[in-house]
Amino acid sequence: MENVYFLCCKLNFYRVFQIMSVNVRINSPNVQYTDTHITARYSYQTTSVHRDGNNITASPCATEMTFRTERRVPRLGVMLVGWGGNNGTTVTAAVLANSLGLTWSTKTGQKKANYFGSFLQASTVCLGSGLEGDVNIPFRDLLPMVHPNDIVFDGWDISSMDLGCAMERAQVFDWSLQEQLRPHLSLMKPRPSIYIPEFIAANQESRADNVLTGTLADQARLAKS
């Protein structure tokens, strides 16, 4: 059963990537559209319970909420602490591979960069029912959202190693993919980082050649600049 579940998930991912983006508009008195924003009113309903000995009183409660979403998708920058580590280099390289549309060879054949497994990019949501049954749309199209290809990455690391070399050290990607990514990642270097040995594994000490100096207050101020 577990294998069947994962097979269904995989087939669903493939289906999402074959669906072109759609424009969703909600026809409801609780949702208003302007040229710049989408405003939605939502009643969050819960139950308040009061106990008095053996007597329990349950009272329905409602909290009225208003959500406003900007229709213009803004630019998004992500700054990572430990950018040159395995996680930082892998997520940066993965987004870069997708934005460049890279393909590479492996022992099992040709591979192409994709966002399989991404909650926003590779899943669907049932919007409702139509004449042909349930209508499922890509989750990413529910609201205006930043596409991961448009994210700008930056960050700090106690190691001055550029992300191209850090990717090679992490040994996550196939070599043929690394060769395509290295010219781009080698241009990315982490900012100097605050270094507190008590919070960093002992085997990282030899890599600490990109650290801020001074008191912790001085380092925090420099890290923000």
Predicted local confidence at residue 61, as pLDDT: 97
Do the beta carbons of residue 184 and residue 109 sit within 8 Å? Answer: no
Closest CA to 212 of 199, 203, 225: 225
* Domains present along the chain, CATH in parentheses: 2-22+73-224 (3.40.50.720), 31-70 (no CATH)
Reported pTM: 0.78
Phi, psi of 116 (to 5 degrees): -55, 135
Compute CA distances 119 → 23, 67, 124, 149, 158, whole Å. 19, 22, 9, 15, 31
- Mean pLDDT (whole number) for 111-131: 92
The tens digit of pLDDT for each residue in 183-214 reads 999 999 999 998 888 888 888 888 889 988 87
The tens digit of pLDDT for each residue in 44-100 reads 999 999 999 999 999 999 999 999 999 999 999 999 999 999 999 999 999 999 999
Predicted local confidence at residue 4, as pLDDT: 43
Helices (H) and strands (E) in the chain, counts: 5, 9
* Helix-, strand-, coil-residue percentages of the chain, each rounded to 5: 35, 30, 35
The tens digit of pLDDT for each residue in 94-111 reads 999 999 999 999 999 999
